[in-house]
């Protein structure tokens, strides 16, 4: 039987963690052809030295892909594509994928956000897209080197509601064989919303105070702010009839307390390290948009959104001075 082709787009915190595990597993088994897609300096470093994952889970911290390419158009006949980019790169990636994939290619986006499935579906109409979310604390230490701290990362993914009969058993098996802690669900959307409760509230508050997950759990004001955001989000989720777990806010704080207290969030790092882009629109903007569509008031999220836009503005002025 011909080997299946798997491509991993984006070797940052998420692609560098989950992609590393899949490639290192395949190094031993050689069941698949794996292609990494990376750009700029990441491409140069990984082509030369392999991808490095600094993690307590891996003694052998380097993995070399069968193939590494710089552009999506160079991926050949992909069966599965892991999309591991930030939301501001998603549409560009999808427009390029549309020209490269076959109707059989399955897409697995490993990203934050409750609207990722819909945004991909708007561009890529027919393919199977597996809705997913991930929990992991990992970031780019330097290009081609990813650092993971704390507990093992977790991947939750589910069937595509538009292609329920697609054979994805081999993907479920691949994820398991790669040693990835995962849950496969018939329907993963409630899990994606549950993750969004965590990342939107903790992301926005840690970014505002440049604090950490532990501080949001323990500081009275920061905890109150995260709770306010979750209360607004809960009104939206209830109106959209999302089947959230009982006591979602309490459970979110419980989940957060399983991370090492000093763990930063990706939004916090992007804003406070003065990166050119951040996922602020994905976290706050999308809440406000849903609220407007549903006629719900979200004054607290709007306030923190404005405060963070202002902070980004001030930080960028500091750079240019
Ligand atoms: N990091 C974390 O701890 C977690 C992140 N998430 C979510 O996962 C998603 C990915 O985040 P994360 O991995 O942290 O992001 P990173 O910024 O660390 O990594 C994204 C990578 O994608 C690369 N990239 C973007 N477009 C392309 C392209 N066209 N071709 C090749 N490479 C490309 C970027 O390249 P370049 O470096 O050149 O910009 C970057 O290396 C986000 O939605 C985030 O919110 C979810 C859970 C935890
Ligand atoms: C909160 C965290 C670290 C959990 O995975 C995350 O998703 C992020 O910072 O993007």
Residue 155 dihedral angles phi and psi, to the nearest 5°: -120, 125
Least confident of 21-25, 149-153, 315-319: 315-319
Which residue's C-alpha comes closest to atom 5 of ligand 2? 135
Say what percent of the chain tops pLDDT 90: 98
Indicate whether 102 pLDDT > 70: yes
Q: How far is the CA of 72 from the centre of ligand 2 (A)?
A: 26
CB of 147 sitting under 6 A from ligand 1: no
**Closest atom of ligand 2 relative to the 13 alpha carbon:** 10
Which residue's C-alpha comes closest to atom 23 of ligand 1? 10
The domains of the chain are located at 4-187, 191-320
Residue 78's Cβ-count burial label (10 Å; 0-12, 13-18, 19+) is buried
- Mean pLDDT throughout 245-262? 97
Q: Give the residue among 216, 201, 194 at the shortest CA–CA distance from 283.
A: 201
The overall longest dimension of the chain from CA atoms, in Å, is: 61
pLDDT for res 262? 97
**Closest atom of ligand 2 relative to the 213 alpha carbon:** 1
Indicate whether 309 pLDDT > 60: yes
Q: How far is the CA of 260 from the centre of ligand 2 (A)?
A: 12
Q: Round the average pLDDT of the chain to a whole number and report it.
A: 97
- Mean pLDDT throughout 247-276? 97
- Mean pLDDT throughout 273-296? 96
Residue 219 dihedral angles phi and psi, to the nearest 5°: -85, 130
* Residue 2 binned pLDDT confidence (cut-offs 50, 70, 90): confident
- Whether 87 and 80 have beta carbons less than 8 Å apart is answered as no
* Residue 304 binned pLDDT confidence (cut-offs 50, 70, 90): very high
The helix/strand/coil state of 41 is helix
* Residue 156 binned pLDDT confidence (cut-offs 50, 70, 90): very high
Question: What is the distance of C-alpha 170 from the center of its chain?
Answer: 22
Q: How far is the CA of 90 from the centre of ligand 2 (A)?
A: 18
CA angle 130, 115, 175 (to 5 degrees): 25
Residue 22's Cβ-count burial label (10 Å; 0-12, 13-18, 19+) is buried
- Strands 145-158 and 132-142, by their bridges, are antiparallel
Domain 4-187 falls under CATH 3.40.50.720: yes
* Residue 147 binned pLDDT confidence (cut-offs 50, 70, 90): very high
Domain 191-320 falls under CATH 1.10.510.10: no
Which residue's C-alpha comes closest to atom 10 of ligand 2? 266
**Pocket of ligand 1, candidates 8, 11, 14, 72: which has the most ligand atoms within 8 Å of its Cβ, to mutate?**
14
pLDDT for res 318? 80
ipTM of this complex: 0.99
Indicate whether 119 pLDDT > 90: yes
Indicate whether 158 pLDDT > 90: yes
pLDDT in tens, 198-232: 999 999 999 999 999 999 999 999 999 999 999 99
| Ligand closest to the CA atom of residue 200 | 2
* Residue 319 binned pLDDT confidence (cut-offs 50, 70, 90): low
Q: How far is the CA of 226 from the centre of ligand 2 (A)?
A: 14
286-294 and 220-239 are packed helices; what angle lies between their axes, rounded to 10 degrees?
A: 50
């Amino acid at each position: 039987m011909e080997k299946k082709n798997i491509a991993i787009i984006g070797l940052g915190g998420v692609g560098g963690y989950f992609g590393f595990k899949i490639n290192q597993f395949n190094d031993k088994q050689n069941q698949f052809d794996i292609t990494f897609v990376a750009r700029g300096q990441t491409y140069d470093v990984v082509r030369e030295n392999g991808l490095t994952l600094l993690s307590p889970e891996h003694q052998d911290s380097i993995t070399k892909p069968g193939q590494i390419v710089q552009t999506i158009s160079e991926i050949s006949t992909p069966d599965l594509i892991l999309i591991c980019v930030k939301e501001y790169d998603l549409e560009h990636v999808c427009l390029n994928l549309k020209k490269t994939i076959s109707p059989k290619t399955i897409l697995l986006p490993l990203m934050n956000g409750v609207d990722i499935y819909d945004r991909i579906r708007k561009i890529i109409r027919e393919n199977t897209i597996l809705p997913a979310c991930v929990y992991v604390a990992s970031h780019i230490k330097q290009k081609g080197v990813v650092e993971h701290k704390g507990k093992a990362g977790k991947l939750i993914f589910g069937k595509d509601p538009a292609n329920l009969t697609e054979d994805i058993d081999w993907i479920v098996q691949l994820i398991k064989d790669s040693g990835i802690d995962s849950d496969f669900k018939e329907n993963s959307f409630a899990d994606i919303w549950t993750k969004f409760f965590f990342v939107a509230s903790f992301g926005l508050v840690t970014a505002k105070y440049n604090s950490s997950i532990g501080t949001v759990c323990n500081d009275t004001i920061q905890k109150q702010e995260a709770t306010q955001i979750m209360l607004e989000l809960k009104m939206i989720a209830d109106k959209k009839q999302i089947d959230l777990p009982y006591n979602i806010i309490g459970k979110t704080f419980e989940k957060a307390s399983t991370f090492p207290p000093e763990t930063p969030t990706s939004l916090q790092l992007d804003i406070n390290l003065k990166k050119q882009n951040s996922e602020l629109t994905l976290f706050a903007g999308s809440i406000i948009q849903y609220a407007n569509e549903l006629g719900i008031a979200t004054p607290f999220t709007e306030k923190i959104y404005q405060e963070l836009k202002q902070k980004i503005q001030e930080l960028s002025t500091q750079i240019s001075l």
